[in-house]
Structure 1
Amino acid sequence: MEQRSLRTHVLDLIGNFLYKEKFPNCGYLPEGILNLIDATSAYREEGEDLYPEIFITDKIDAVLRTLPFCKRVEISTKPASVKEFSQALKLCAPLSRNGWVIYINVSEQCINYGLVSSELSELSPTFRKQSVGELSENGDEYAIAYLQNAGNKSVLLRGSETSALISLSLSERRDGIGAELSSICKAITDDVDENYQAICASYFEKIIGDALVTGHGTLIAVVKEEPDAIDKALKRHADGIYLPQPLDICDLVIQSEEQKTREASTSNRLHSSLVQSMLHHDGVTVFSSKGKVLGYHVFVKPDGTEKEEIVGGARTRAFEVLKLSSVFESCFYKSHDGNEKFWSAKDGK
């Protein structure tokens, strides 16, 4: 009888990852990370779904030196063993929110763990972007691995040199996780003042990314910031909640960046939380290309002029209608099982 073990396959993948990232040869480490991946793929504590971010390193002090404003709260130090990874997750996962990330520092004899935050304000880049993303300053001084739930029993494992999307489900997953999110956020800020375009796009990646992790499927459409284009889109897809006064998130981001006051920061944070709640609603959230939220809970349907047959689940069909309705610059879709798609009118895909 042929037998194949998913556990063995994932352990092999983790071993290759640790080798490429130059982690020390700690015998407990691959299985400890495997247990974290298994647990965080669908983590619940006291009946609540949790989405902790975790990073593992062999030199926590060296990591924090690259993040000069980082705050650290140590929780415990224990003799090194596989079971301590599960204990670290249990103790720290309920605390890993609002910018706090779990760290696990490993050595041959012991592990210590706790939480860190690298955010000075709500506009700060995410810890992932600063530690293993494009803002990372890591050379060869330390090894690092970052883990986060990516939906549908999948976990993103990323280091300085390599990355892997580990799926514990048999459903098909698209490659290139994160690319679609980056693309839709650039589309949302396409017509923003170029002096603030990058910071606004980064901020949208942060708040929309958080909403995608905790939501169960999302649809976003972007319309050109022009009166005729907006009017055409609203008439074509009228079944929804359109705001009499659009939420200008980019303006709030710019005010927070320029004024650096508690009032500006609080206003931006509160309005951003509204946007995240809108993204959790059924239907489409509609943005303009200047970073304004025009509407949410928008339901779309074919008008009979589409040349292509539209098939699939409800969100898939809605995504196709958005593309074919010829009123949007770009569209984004995330299904309940974690698959993501991005379409742009500029390149037709």
Structure 2
Amino acid sequence: MTQNMFFDPRQDIVKELRAFLHQLNTENSESLVDGIFKIIETLPHCKEEGKILKPNIIISLKALDECVRFEHQQINIKISTGEKQSATYKRALKVCAPLARADQSIYISLDRNNIEFGILLKTAAKAINTLAKDRQDYLPITIDYNSIISIKIDHDTGALTVCHKNTTFKIYTILTPDKPDERPPLENTLAEAICRDITDNSVKNDIKSNLLPSLTKSINNSHGCMIAVVDNNKNSIQKLEEHLHDGIYLDNPIDFTKAFAKAKESKGLAEHLFLQELLDIKEQMINMDGVTVFNTVGHLLAYKVFVKINMMTQHDGGARSRAFNTLSRLKIIDYCFFKSQDGGKEFKLNRKI
């Protein structure tokens, strides 16, 4: 039996998914619904360094060694564990997707107290994904299919399939990780931070509305970037240089507030061309490795600033993500923006705008 869905709102997907999983009568069924929905939401956007990833995912409803047994052969490589919540499912996908080859799977095992995840090796993964029970006739492998859920995505058609035994749940739409109306774009919050302490509200709004499309363009064109905003005082810059001395700090910061104001007031072409050149330079700076630093009155202060990563803090991301995690913890940073190479974005506020 197959249930098909075409372009349904996410609340309907959750409703149908809950009905689909209700038949399994598992403990923590609501956390399972939340977790599988998080995978449905995340899987179509799964990338690593710009490369689209297509992992198969196996969820065992009890400990993996109780669901799959293969005599005299290891079937999995455990990566980590986490609490029974949707964030752990997302973390499992993010950490394991770059590791799993096409003939392997990511496994997420629901033990009594927590979630274990890792890589399910070739023989077991293939047996489960094809539901080839006849393999057990000539392989010493035993699979409890009643306790197995598999999740796959077809990147050609966009169909995402959740399968339990002979019942499948298919979705023919790709969800964005966040609802469009859930929050304003992060670039908008970043522009507000960069203009926070401009005292004239009409000037502030004008600069923000003009800076926003340029910031968005720079961020979208980058292969990944980090942008920090510090308070508008000399003490902040001095402390920043003390903490992050490996970078290029401008002797004369680029004053976008002044450049935008001059371009607006001027009837000539020179000021507009000058502003455009400043914006082009800003884009090149943002596209470089390291952090680009603004203050709260529209000045670009530094670029290519490198962060010494705190190796004592547990974090699953790559170098840029780890640097962002360290940077966002510095008290001298008011706001911090991060875009990963696969397009994911984060924004940390240490002060209200």
What TM-score comes out, normalization by structure 1 length?
0.49
Q: Max radius of gyration: which structure?
A: 2
What TM-score comes out, normalization by structure 2 length?
0.48
